[in-house]
A and B are shown apart, each in its own frame.
Chain A
Amino acid sequence: MSDIYDIAVVGGGIMGSGAALRLAEGGMRVVLLEQGDIGQGASGVNAGTLSLQIKRVKLMPYALRGHQEWKRMGAEVDYRETGGYTLAFTDREADLLHERMTMKQEAGAPISFISPNEVAVREPGLCRKVVAASRCPSDGFANSSLTGRYYRHRLKAANIDVREHCSVAEIHRDEPGFTLQTSTGPVHARRLLLACGGWLKQAAGMIGLDLPVRARVNTVSVTERGPRLVSSVIGHATGLLTLKQKGNGTVLIGGGWQGLGQPGEGGNRGRVDAESVLPNLRLARYAVPGLKELRIVRSWTGFEANVPDFYPLAGAAPGVEGAFLLGCVRGGYTIGPFISKLMGDFILGRETELPLFDPARDFTKEIQL
């Protein structure tokens, strides 16, 4: 039957779009269903930081390859390899910085330690209270707002059937695979890939899986355009600050401060908590004193899904033949373009360049790769 797709991909973020592109390249007939706009969930509202200094040690090989993918995407996503600094303002933070960055160095990230004086010379807009710092020349950022535009064009060029503003209400097993009841009618497919970020729990529930998925509600703020304050990505030893100034002069401030809400609780992207955005801005203002001249024009939140061990779900859906899961990638913006290709290869029956992350594992035990 011609109206049966080889695979239905649920979720049009970086994960779903990247996998759909790989699957189409591999010869599958793909339909991609997105409840909102392509690339407008976590993929489009995160701070756009591409920093090896904030990646988990075991995910470093994936992050390094992710960086290569972003480099290839280049100007279309406003990719900038600016280098990045992670700062410690107290002795306790300096110890934390040394311990963590040394492990990341050993995992292959080109991170070095530099003196506070050198930081002051290279980034004169930073405050003079730095007691220790690390640097990674391959860190940078891309403009996450452009994720949707980038993937929409690529999906179209690949002749993938993309349905935006199409939400999935129910999924049924049948021959030869799955029927998805959507807001724009039923969709039939032999295979199913759920790659819907914060909504993974609800979607997996439709095929009878109870996944321990929670969403972090990360907050980002942006200023109006201002004079040049910093030229690289600035982080904090605790991970509670990421800051960069874009080409147009606006400063993006993030760091994983938590907003309110969970997917499905009304409102589709969570909401800003005034009590957590203010400390975030204070830390940013402390690190970059020149921010006092600027105004915040917008703060927003997005859902970053995770499971209890904070490693990805990437592999076959346990006990559901023909269904696959992809999500919960900590640092998903960086790693997404790479791990989605691995996922595509896995579904196509090819050997994957690096191992995937079996969703059937025991989330209480340390992962073995």
Chain B
Amino acid sequence: MSTLRMFRKKPDDLGFFGKLGFYCLLILGALVSIFPFYWMFVVGTNDKGAVFHVPPLLTIGDQFFDNFKRVLEKSDFFQALGNSLFVSSMVTISVVFFCTLAGYAFAKYEFPGKNMLFVFVIATLIVPQQLGVLPTYVIMAKLHWIDSFKALIVPAMVNAFGIFWMRQYISAAVPTELIEAGRIDGGGHFRIFWKIAVPVITPAMATLGILNFMTVWNDFFWPLVVLKNKEHYTIQIALQQLFTTRDGLDYGMIMSATFTATLPLLIVFLLFSRWVIAGLTSGAIKS
């Protein structure tokens, strides 16, 4: 009894083996998380049959460029990549600008109906996208925006999460005295916003920008609905189009494309991971 008590000094001390078990589970989870990325690269760099090799092939091959050449024969891969880049950038610039403006107004101005309007903004977050898809499609058809990037960009130009996120940050980071001082000096409202508020809140704007860019880049449902012509496909639609059995599934080709399409986002994420994670966790705490 006394030896046992000596061995376990504190009731919550895990001891060496407990810690080892904890780390094993954590590492196992991490391996499961990153394995598909590695597997993507393995298949993308090996020849056609490698994917169903028994036992599974786990080494990187040298066929990447041959595989990727077939991607370029089958699709306008770089055109699709460029389209995605264009659409995502346009949406992101607009979202950051309009959400910052609206967040600033909700944080630093007094006006009738302010609280009610803000609650309304938050409430729109729970409406599922699919509920309005059909009429939105009809609106796009009426505007002759089907198969045009406008259909992807315009409805996404500002969003409720961005307003919420900027309001929270601006309330905490921008001192009201600074804005009042600017107003006494006779600065216009937009000028004060631009010269005083924006420089202080660029980190929050960057986080919102990255999060938004990733969301738009990865969107599949809406582009699938509105884009008709091959030359307008975003990268997600182009990837999906490669996945056809017409001449047998060429997984080497598919994975070399998937890997190339994933890599830029992966690099951006690894560079800015701290901001991305902070943005998403603070988005969750809104409940």
Q: Is the A/B pair a real complex?
A: no
Interface residues of B (CB under 8 A from A): none
Interface residues of A (CB under 8 A from B): none
